[in-house]
Amino acid sequence: MLYFYSMMRWSRLVLLCIFCSPVIHAAQELSTAEKEEAQQLGLEVWFGRPTAFKICPDPESNPAQEYALCASAQCFTIDNVAYCKCDQKVGKSISLPFFFTNNKPPAPGPIAGDVCDLMEVSGEGGFMVSTFSPPPQLVKGYPGPDALAIYTCPGSGNLSAQCNGGLCVKATAGTNWPFLGAIGKDEIVCSCPIAASPQLGFQFIGPADCDREFFEQYCGVQGGGSGGTSVSTGTQLAVGAVTGSGTILTKLLEGNVPPTSRCFFVPDPAN
């Protein structure tokens, strides 16, 4: 339920980016009440009142917190779960809070913790939590050899891996996986649910040279049935986020959004 609620909230939040970012070129048709809610919620986020998100670690806790960064990852699927090659990071990141209670089975009750609390104990269990920070390779003029860009896949129903809050096993570092290949010592495999994009579409990260073949590979992946997220084992997916949401999260986490490399293509209808 939290996942579907968060996706609905995302689709409203990103309307705010019509005013705050050049990323979005199409608006979703919403009622007047929904548009007013989206604008108010978006303004709260944009001006630093992140009621929907949590920055980890908390100011009182250890600032050197481990997390998995999957923003630029690609994935393969087994039995409708995406397994993604992500980066191991240390520092500050942002996520939906993912509150949990001590009740069994889960039920309304006293809050036991949230995503930051889970991250604090992750070392005891040999895992990491996938949260977000902007990859530095996205900044225009990045001097390194691995510069990246944001690709925008328009339209609804296209599939990507939704890794926010996903869990990752540290023991996967330094191993080999089918479809993913070698996992480096500073990398990790995370398991993530598959999500269908709303009308605003989704964005994913790829090579800064605007590779059309890369775009076609990961934009337009469809599931079985009408709007379904069921795919064949071995299907390759990119980690995606609702169009514009990365801009909002970067603003919340860093306080500003630097000039970012972007790639725009019109999808090939034959794919």
- What was the pLDDT predicted at 2? 32
Q: What would the pLDDT profile of 53-99 be if each residue is shown by its tens digit?
A: 899 997 676 677 899 999 999 999 999 999 999 999 999 999 988 88
- What was the pLDDT predicted at 108? 64
Q: Looking at the predicted structure, is the pLDDT value of residue 201 above 50?
A: yes
Q: Are strands 159-161 and 148-153 parallel, antiparallel or unpaired?
A: unpaired
Distance, CA of 246 to CA of 124 (rounded, Å): 30
Give the type of residue at 76: F
Maximum distance among all alpha carbons in the chain?
53
CA angle 218–219–220, rounded 5-degree value: 115
* 34-48, 199-213, 255-269: which is most confident: 199-213
Q: Which residues pair with 90 in a beta bridge?
A: 66
Give the type of residue at 246: G
The pLDDT-based confidence of 150 (bands split at 50, 70, 90) is very high
Q: What is the DSSP letter of 132?
A: B
Q: Looking at the predicted structure, is the pLDDT value of residue 140 above 70?
A: yes
Distance, CA of 225 to CA of 4 (rounded, Å): 19
Distance, CA of 170 to CA of 123 (rounded, Å): 9
- What was the pLDDT predicted at 64? 76
The pLDDT-based confidence of 39 (bands split at 50, 70, 90) is low
**Torsion over CA: 233, 237, 243, 249 (sign):** positive
Q: Are strands 65-69 and 127-131 parallel, antiparallel or unpaired?
A: parallel
Distance, CA of 192 to CA of 152 (rounded, Å): 20
Number of helices and strands in the chain (H, E): 7, 19
- What was the pLDDT predicted at 48? 47
Q: How many CB atoms lie within 10 A of CB 201?
A: 24
Q: What is the DSSP letter of 137?
A: G
Q: Are 242 and 197 in contact (CB under 8 A)?
A: yes
HSE-CB at 166 with a 13 A cutoff on CA atoms is 30
Q: Residue 167: is it exposed, middle or buried by C-beta count within 10 angstroms (0-12/13-18/19+)?
A: middle
Q: Residue 177: which region, alpha, beta or left (left: phi > 0; alpha: psi -120 to 50)?
A: beta
